[in-house]
Structure 1
Amino acid sequence: MPGPGRTHVDPRLLRAFLAVAEELHFTRAAARLYVAQQALSRDVRRLERELGAELFVRTTRQVTLTAEGERLVPFARRVLQAQDDLVAAFGPARPLLVDLNSPGLVTGRRVLHRARELAPEQELMARFESGLTGAAVEIVAGRLDTSFGRYAGLEPVLRGQLEQQLVRYEPMAVVLPERHRLASLPEVPLDALAGESVYAGAGNPRTPEWTDLAHRLFEGRGIRVAAPAPLAVGDEEFQRIMAKSGNPVLAVVDFPAMPGTVLRPLIDPVPLSPVSLVWRKGLVHPGLDALRRSAVEIGQAEGWLQWPAGGWIPAMDMSMTSVDKRHIANTGPMPALDSST
């Protein structure tokens, strides 16, 4: 059945196909697999392209199997059963190494904790690599399995070896010294930072995706990205260096508290940090499945993929994370995009 020259079919695509074939309903199948409906539809279309066959007839009223789809069902069941038997025969999977960037960041930690509840028999081990670029190098080398961060900010050579699932549009904020001129404001309009030098990790080889996001956000607003500071290892050293420089720090709304500072959300526009779960292409692990289910579950409960009124994100991030516009249909106007790529 595979097309000419094809010798491998990703079991994940077969699992997506089988769920739809058994439910004959994309929404129910997505809920069963704990994935977004858009991601499920994308996987089914990819399988159809790889097999060179249409597997479903889709109308506004129903989904039915084609003759080729009917023919694939028993093959898919046998392949997936064989995979499950293989995993069971060799005992528990090895620990999954999950990078959370920094101990104080909330998004990845919440996804990890829920994943441990969903798959208590699996060992999901936390690691801390500072930034996604640094973690991505380790993932590609096989020394890490997954991480969280801004996927679109990675170099193309890294993105080509990774897969990702959008987890959250996290509102951004600024950390200000307590005596800063803007510290008394409950929210800081972005243009109020004009003339400031804001620290955004410049010079840190592990976090260029974050510095790039800052450059795109500040462009044309008279806000400078602060020059590289000495690379600080650990929260204590980071706080000391930031206190010494006195620069505001670009952060996210769940950034951990720092002594002598205040955290203020940014507005006008509301800049968003797109956080994806990122893993090595071809990785198959029940712990990864639990992480993906956890991200969908928490995202739906917390509205992590809903778009706030006045939201902003770089255009390249929007295209690479394949946002489903239905997430923003009832939460505000269409996203404000920058024009750079």
Structure 2
Amino acid sequence: MPTSPVTVDPRLLRAFLAVAEELHFTRAAARLYVAQQALSRDVRRLERELRAELFLRTTRQVTLTPDGERLVPYARRVLDAQDELLAAFGRARPLLVDLNFSGLLTGHRVLVRARELAPEQELLARYESGLTGAAVELLAGRLDASFGRFAGLAPALRAGLEQQPVRYEPMTIALPEEHPLARLTAVPLAALAGETVYAGAGNPRTPEWTDLAHRLFEGRGIQVAPAAPPAVGYEEFQRIMARTGHPILAVVDSPPLPGMVLRPLVDPVPLSPVSLVWRRGLAHPGVEALRRASAEVAAREGWLRRPMDGWIPAADEKVMNSHN
């Protein structure tokens, strides 16, 4: 007598994949906005249906079994296909868009326009603080799109992502109000010789920004400030920066800091290259809306026109020209 074919509910695969990526049931349940008990029940049901043990559980840790490791790529392909199917019929899930942190205008303005272009889609903002940190989340499926310096990512991260240039954003320097250079309307790079400037050193989420600072300061007598205590939230960042007293490398649209002034950098004008970045192969109408919005806003604002005296590393120039 023939047996009935086995069908696997995609919800069970999504539960499995969350635990496989977090290796922690509590964190996985929080990520999926479900009770831990319900998540455990779904994983056990999947194990029964597949007749395979997927996790080894102890009081201290959760690890994948060989069958669990074998299931991971299949689960990802099934869930990607489901997303593509739903998108084709106008039922796409919400798209999670990282804007780095609140107050940066580039990603925010693109997101606003994308929502206008695709009002039927739910585009939800997230704040991951740096593209390297966001890239890990993108590849794991916990985010869908982000903004930042694509050339600054490790090759292993870039391999799983796609990008579209959005802006050459002029870089600035945030100076304490009492700093001698604060009286200038624009600060020549040469005037920063001998200064120690904060550029996120030690922050595991933003090494692409610190690397850009090192490239900019090389040969100019400017030092990158040592790592500061990790700050969670903008208010904590403000407090720590006030204690160090260091100038801060920033971009033209950076939100103001109390007790500091923002001055453009000149001679040359250093540029922060910003791309829209998303997971390779992601099929979602929200991504297409973001790409259209990026192109529209960039064209309207002249974001991809480089100033004659603009500075950018060669690796970034190659990335930013890749879509020309």
Shorter-chain TM-score: what band?
A: 0.7 to 0.9
Instruction: Classify the secondary structure of the residue corresponding to 1:275.
Output: strand
Q: How many residues align?
A: 242
- The answer to whether the aligner puts 1:280 opposite 2:279 as a matched pair is yes
2:303 counterpart of 1:304? yes
Sequence identity (%): 72
- Residues 82-93 of structure 1 correspond to what in structure 2 (within 5 A)? 86-87=85-86, 90-93=89-92
User: Aligned equivalents of 1:175 and 1:190: distance in 2?
Assistant: 13
Deviations 1:28-84 (A, max 9, x none): xxxxxxxxxxxxxxxxxxxxxxxxxxxxxxxxxxxxxxxxxxxxxxxxxxxxxxx9x
Letter matched to residue 295 of structure 1: S
Counterpart-to-counterpart distance in 1, 2:228 and 2:118: 41
Residue in 2 aligned with 1:212?
Answer: 211
CA deviations on 1:280-313 (whole Å, 9 max, x unpaired) are 0000110000000001001111000001120000
Paired with 2:258 and 2:191, the residues of 1 have a C-alpha distance of: 23
Tell me the TM-score normalized by structure 1.
0.69
Other-structure match for 1:193: 192
Alignment-mate amino acid for residue 277 of structure 1: L
Using the TM superposition, give the Cα deviation of residue 323 of structure 1 relative to its aligned residue in structure 2, in angstroms.
5.4
**Gaps in structure 2 of 5+ consecutive residues:** 1-81
Structure-2 change in CA distance of 1:86 and 1:226 (3 Å): closer
Work out whether residues 97 and 143 of structure 2, in 8 Å CA contact, stay in contact via their aligned partners in 1.
Answer: yes
What's 1:160 paired with?
A: 159
Deviation, structure 1 residue 87: 4.4
Which one-letter code corresponds to 1:113 in the other structure? V
Alignment of 1:1-341 (within 5 A): 86-87=85-86, 90-322=89-321
For 1:221, what is the secondary structure of its paired residue? coil
Aligned to 1:77: none
CA distance in 2, matches of 1:212, 1:88: 38
CA contact (8 A) 2:162 2:278 kept: yes
Amino acid at match of 2:232: V
3-state SS of paired residue (1:101): coil
Rounded to whole Å, the distance in 2 between the matches of 1:131 and 1:122 is 25
Name structure 1 gaps, 5 residues minimum: 1-82, 326-341
Whole-angstrom distance in 1 between the partners of 2:100 and 2:246 = 22
Change (3 A) 1:238 1:163: same
3-state SS of paired residue (1:183): helix
CA distance in 2: counterparts of 1:133 and 1:188, whole angstroms: 29
Mapped to 1, the partners of 2:286 and 2:90 lie a distance apart of 14
Shift of 1:92: 1.8
Match for residue 330 of structure 1?
none
Deviations 1:245-288 (A, max 9, x none): 00000000010011101000000000000000000000011000
Q: CA deviation at 1:89?
A: 6.9
TM score, norm. by length of structure 2:
0.73
> Cα RMSD over matched residues?
1.6
Residues in 1 aligned to 2:156 and 2:204: alpha-carbon distance in whole angstroms: 16
Tell me the residue number matched to 1:33.
none
Hey, which bits of structure 1, 4+ residues long, moved more than 3 A? Answer: 85-91
Spell out, residue by residue over 1:77-112, the C-alpha distance to the aligned partner (whole angstroms, 9 max, x if none): xxxxxx9x9547754200000000000101000000
